Amino acid sequence: MTTWSNMSLQDSASPVMEQLIYFHDHTLMIITMILIVVSYMMTMMTFNKYINRYLLEGQMIEVLWTIAPAVILVFIALPSLQLLYLMDEINSPVLTLKTIGHQWYWSYEYSDFTKIEFDSYMTPQNEMNSASFRLLDVDNRIPLPTNMFIRVIITAADVLHSWTIPSIGVKADATPGRLNQVSMSLNRPGLFYGQCSEICGANHSFMPIVIESISMSNFIK
């Protein structure tokens, strides 16, 4: 979900998203190098005038183009596995947020406190002010503290949904009858927007997500 005049990923708001951006750039650099080398070789083979019509095999080049992709895959797989472990669940979260997808809105519960729960609907266009984002703002944002480990438990009440916030690097399916879990930590205050990323019916595009990252003291208040 890019913003205006943005050709790349959103600015990160969590350590996981920072690492995802680094991994994206790392992989893109490898792909660019492969593209340059292959393009150079194809160009040279097309325009040179050297022909060996008795050439039947080239064992050395075949060994090289078998080993080289394996080495390249290792350079991609190692940081990928490291990132997968980083994205794994945390042992002792400070806060647990339960997210429930409905047709077509989200509801949230703060289970650690005295049963705080609320629904979050998209703000209608006739109720928006000049600072609101069309199709992205909601009537009830999700306040969460910064620099704290947060566990999000995600499910659905009717059909498949997907709880997605690109700038935090979080995307998890909301499946009826099943609890999915993701972990995150917000490293800066701000408003972070997301949307349902699983086609869930006629109003699928009208159930946005807004997280409001605030300090711990303000969150407790």
Residue 143, strand partner residues: 212
Burial 154-185 (b: 16+ CB within 10 A, else e): bbbeebebbbbbbbbbbebbbbeeeebebbbb
The answer to whether 151 and 94 are in contact (CB under 8 A) is no
Q: Of 196, 218, 213, 214, which Cα lies nearest the Cα of 205?
A: 196
Alpha-carbon distance of 198 to 179, in angstroms, equals 16
Q: For the chain, what are the domain ranges?
A: 15-88, 95-220
Q: Which residues pair with 170 in a beta bridge?
A: 165
Q: List, for residues 164-221, the tens digit of each pLDDT value.
A: 998 898 899 999 999 998 888 898 898 899 999 989 888 898 999 999 999 888 888 8
pLDDT band at 89 (very low <50, low <70, confident <90, very high): low
CATH superfamily of 95-220: Cupredoxins -  blue copper proteins (2.60.40.420)
Residue holding tokens 């944002």?
141
Mean pLDDT, to the nearest integer, of 71-78? 92
Cβ(117)–Cβ(157) under 8 Å? no
In eight-state DSSP terms, residue 105 is E
pLDDT of residue 98: 92
The amino acid sitting at 161 is H
Cβ burial of 103 (10 Å; 0-12, 13-18, 19+) is: middle
- Judge whether residue 90 has pLDDT over 80: no
Distance CA(20)–CA(164), nearest Å, equals 15
**Residue pLDDT, tens place only, 193-204:** 999 998 988 889
Local confidence band at 40 (pLDDT 50, 70, 90 cut-offs): very high
Note the pLDDT of residue 1.
Answer: 56
Closest to 118 in 3D by CA, of 135, 141, 152: 141
Mean pLDDT across the stretch 51-67?
A: 84
Residue 161 has a pLDDT of 93
* CATH placement of domain 15-88: 1.10.287.90
Angle between helices 59-86 and 15-47 (to 10 degrees): 170
